[in-house]
Chain A
Amino acid sequence: MIVQNIIDIVAEIKERLQSELNHPYVKKFIHHPIIDEDKLLYLCSFMQQASVKEEQLKVYVISVMLVQIALDTHDLVSTEPVMNDQHLLQERQLTVLAGVHYSSLYYNYLSKNGFLQFMSETASAIKMINVEKMKYYKQEFQSVDDMMNSLFTIETALIQSVCSYFHNEEWKRLLAHALFIKRLIHEKMVYINHGTSRLFDWLRSYLSIHKDDHQDILEIVEHYISKSRKIIDDLNSSLHFNEQLKMNLNQLIMSTSNH
């Protein structure tokens, strides 16, 4: 398969996703969901190397992306009291419904194609993700490892379930750790730019780190990034990637040393 093909596939799926996500009334009130192009590339590359037929590949990837976006959308549901703010209420209502709509489309995609076992695997991951999201939201952890494991599940359970369905442990590790690094870098950037992030705030409070002591807290997160980077480095030599994915992973690895 030449590089152009994966680019074309990713572009086509993105377009189809955008059209699925486009509800004329909902988009008046809530931001159009962001499609994670890295995730899209990871899924397409994985499916392609697993020799999944192109039409089936599209169904698998679109459905997984839809449910991922559904779960992400529900993270945006606000918690503050509405009082008499009709606009805030309407925005919240449509955020809830947009998420439900995307998950219903995920089920619909898989049903139409009879991918029931795949649905079972991914539904189980969705369940796990929501358990961990609740723990993460409530910040009920006994150790830093506990919290990192929770974040790891939230970020990677879906893609892990896809790789498990195709019985590919190496790719599962590779893609999961790549996504985890991405999330940790994101958290780090949010913290650096805004001085607060759910992850960093919990670490600071749990480890009783003084609010001006940035270095200690950054080092902890850096430690987890390094661990995941090492796993990717090890797998890099044993797996074959398309050029697009190779470039993406190289950039990801490079970005871990930039920050």
Chain B
Amino acid sequence: MKLKMMYGFLNSDIALIEKELEQAIQTDYALISETSLHYLQAGGKRIRPVFVLLSGKFGHYDIEIIKNVAIALELIHMASLVHDDVIDDADTRRGKPTIKAKWDNRIAMYTGDYVFARSLELMANIQDVRAHEILSKTIVEVCLGEIEQIKDKYDLNQNLRTYLRRIKRKTALLIAASCQLGAIAAGAPEAVHKRLFWFGYNVGMAFQITDDILDFTASAEQLGKPAGSDLLQGNITLPVLYAIQDPEMRKKIEQLFESDHPEYHIDEVISHIKSSGSIQQSFKMSQRYLQKALVLLEELPSNKAKSTLHKIAEFIGNRKF
């Protein structure tokens, strides 16, 4: 079942979000509209807006209010992608040239900052200060996570805790915030929005671990970038952390990092990682987070949104690319 089919009952609201996302970043200056639309029109799962809308169903769902959070969160995510491509010096995203590649780094910076400001303008329509405290703290943490990621690159001495903290900041917190903010914007009780936060957190952790697994198991075509890209960039992900417990594997990866042409050796290293059992271990860890998310969900009031969140969580945790 495709992800979009799982939330078919939200179709008209998702269509509204999609339309207003485009409108939100239009300006009189054609270039900034073009750069801002560049990623938006490339598609994407829109998983954050979906989480916002579904969580909103646990309160007094008013699309005219909730849409502000849904659009703002997607724009924040988009701004971070634009900036991330400069950070990663990436030329393609989802098979399309990045903004920094099509224009340049400076244009990408201005686009990202513009989109971020636009998201704050939209968020300002939400009067509950808690929503802003949560979101702003999340953005601070996401950024600190990215700084940490750079600091930890090529460091094979980092431990599991460092990795988990990094992916929490990098991915899980924004998904957790999406779930919680939808519920807050809809005026859901505290117990509900806090539970939704932890649901989102666990789904986010499972999502990122799965992403890290796919970097080794999916094809370049499926990923839209070469397999093993994370490792080539020095990012030590969970499969690598498990793999380097074997001294032989650790040595191979050290040699990869020291090589002048690591891209020549990456296929061999990927194949070793795949046969080391570390993919299976990582998958188990991802499943543990997923199970925790599903248990948390159980205690929420029953409605269509709850069963949809269940399906989405399972989809995310078990996706193949």
B110, A134: Cβ atoms closer than 8 Å: yes
- Identity of the chain A residue whose Cβ is nearest the Cβ of B114 in the assembled complex: A130
A89 within 8 A of B: yes
* Residues in A whose Cβ lies below 8 Å from that of B29: 131, 134-135
Please provide the chain A residues from 34 to 92 with a CB less than 8 Å away from any CB of chain B in the complex.
70-71, 74-75, 77-79, 82, 89-90, 92
B267 within 8 A of A: no
* Residues in A whose Cβ lies below 8 Å from that of B120: 107, 119-120, 123, 126
B147, A97: Cβ atoms closer than 8 Å: yes
B124, A78: Cβ atoms closer than 8 Å: no
A100-B83, A120-B124 are known contacts. Are A94 and B150 too (CB-CB below 8 A)?
A: yes
Please provide the chain B residues from 111 to 127 with a CB less than 8 Å away from any CB of chain A in the complex.
111-114, 116-118, 120-121, 124, 127
**Complex Cα distance A70/B29, Å?**
23
A104, B110: Cβ atoms closer than 8 Å: no
B136, A123: Cβ atoms closer than 8 Å: no
A17 within 8 A of B: no
B140 within 8 A of A: yes
- Identity of the chain B residue whose Cβ is nearest the Cβ of A136 in the assembled complex: B110
A74-B113, A120-B121, A127-B118 are known contacts. Are A107 and B139 too (CB-CB below 8 A)?
A: yes
From A109-117, A215-223, A229-237, give the one contacting chain B.
A109-117
B144, A101: Cβ atoms closer than 8 Å: yes
A79-B105, A101-B140, A119-B124 are known contacts. Are A127 and B114 too (CB-CB below 8 A)?
A: yes
* Residues in A whose Cβ lies below 8 Å from that of B147: 23, 25-26, 94, 97, 101
- Identity of the chain B residue whose Cβ is nearest the Cβ of A89 in the assembled complex: B89
B221 within 8 A of A: no
Residues 141-167 of chain B: 1 if any A CB is under 8 Å from the residue's CB, otherwise 0?
011101100110000000000000000
B113, A103: Cβ atoms closer than 8 Å: yes
Chain B nearest CB: distance from A249 CB in Å?
A: 30
B114, A131: Cβ atoms closer than 8 Å: yes
* Residues in A whose Cβ lies below 8 Å from that of B105: 77-79, 92
A90, B121: Cβ atoms closer than 8 Å: no
For chain B, give the interface size range: 35 or more
Q: Please tell me which one of the listed residues A92, A94, A104 contacts residue B140 in the complex, with CB atoms under 8 A apart.
A: A104
* Residues in A whose Cβ lies below 8 Å from that of B117: 123-124, 126-127, 130
B31 within 8 A of A: yes
B133 within 8 A of A: yes
A104-B136, A111-B135 are known contacts. Are A79 and B110 too (CB-CB below 8 A)?
A: no
Chain A nearest CB: distance from B170 CB in Å?
A: 12
**Complex Cα distance A29/B156, Å?**
21
A97, B87: Cβ atoms closer than 8 Å: yes
Q: Please tell me which one of the listed residues B86, B124, B150 contacts residue A116 in the complex, with CB atoms under 8 A apart.
A: B124
**Complex Cα distance A78/B113, Å?**
16
B107 within 8 A of A: yes
B113, A108: Cβ atoms closer than 8 Å: no
B113, A96: Cβ atoms closer than 8 Å: no
* Residues in B whose Cβ lies below 8 Å from that of A133: 110
A211 within 8 A of B: no
**Complex Cα distance A112/B136, Å?**
9
B129 within 8 A of A: yes
Counting chain A CB atoms within 10 Å of each CB, which of B113, B136, B142 scores highest?
B113
A137, B121: Cβ atoms closer than 8 Å: no
A137, B107: Cβ atoms closer than 8 Å: yes
**Complex Cα distance A245/B106, Å?**
35
**Complex Cα distance A101/B150, Å?**
14
* Residues in B whose Cβ lies below 8 Å from that of A105: 140
* Residues in A whose Cβ lies below 8 Å from that of B140: 101, 104-105, 108
Q: Please tell me which one of the listed residues B110, B129, B142 contacts residue A74 in the complex, with CB atoms under 8 A apart.
A: B110
A103-B116, A127-B114 are known contacts. Are A134 and B124 too (CB-CB below 8 A)?
A: no
B269 within 8 A of A: no
B63 within 8 A of A: no
Chain A nearest CB: distance from B31 CB in Å?
A: 6
* Residues in B whose Cβ lies below 8 Å from that of A123: 117-118, 120-121, 124
Chain A nearest CB: distance from B105 CB in Å?
A: 5
B109, A74: Cβ atoms closer than 8 Å: yes
- Identity of the chain A residue whose Cβ is nearest the Cβ of B127 in the assembled complex: A116
* Residues in B whose Cβ lies below 8 Å from that of A96: 83, 86-87, 109
A93-B150, A104-B143, A123-B117 are known contacts. Are A130 and B32 too (CB-CB below 8 A)?
A: yes
Please provide the chain B residues from 81 to 116 with a CB less than 8 Å away from any CB of chain A in the complex.
83, 86-87, 89, 104-107, 109-114, 116
Hey, which bits of chain B sit against chain A, CB under 8 A?
Answer: 27, 29, 31-32, 35, 80, 83, 86-87, 89, 104-107, 109-114, 116-118, 120-121, 124, 127, 129, 132-133, 135-137, 139-140, 142-144, 146-147, 150-151
Given A77-B106, A108-B133, A119-B124, output 5 extra A-B contacts at Cβ < 8 Å: A89-B89, A107-B136, A111-B136, A116-B132, A123-B121
Q: What 9 pairs between A and B have smallest CB-CB spacing?
A: A111-B132, A120-B124, A126-B117, A130-B114, A123-B120, A108-B136, A104-B139, A111-B136, A107-B136
> Can you sample 16 A-B contacts with CB below 8 Å?
A25-B147, A92-B86, A96-B86, A97-B87, A97-B143, A100-B112, A101-B147, A104-B139, A123-B117, A123-B118, A126-B113, A127-B114, A130-B113, A131-B32, A134-B32, A134-B111
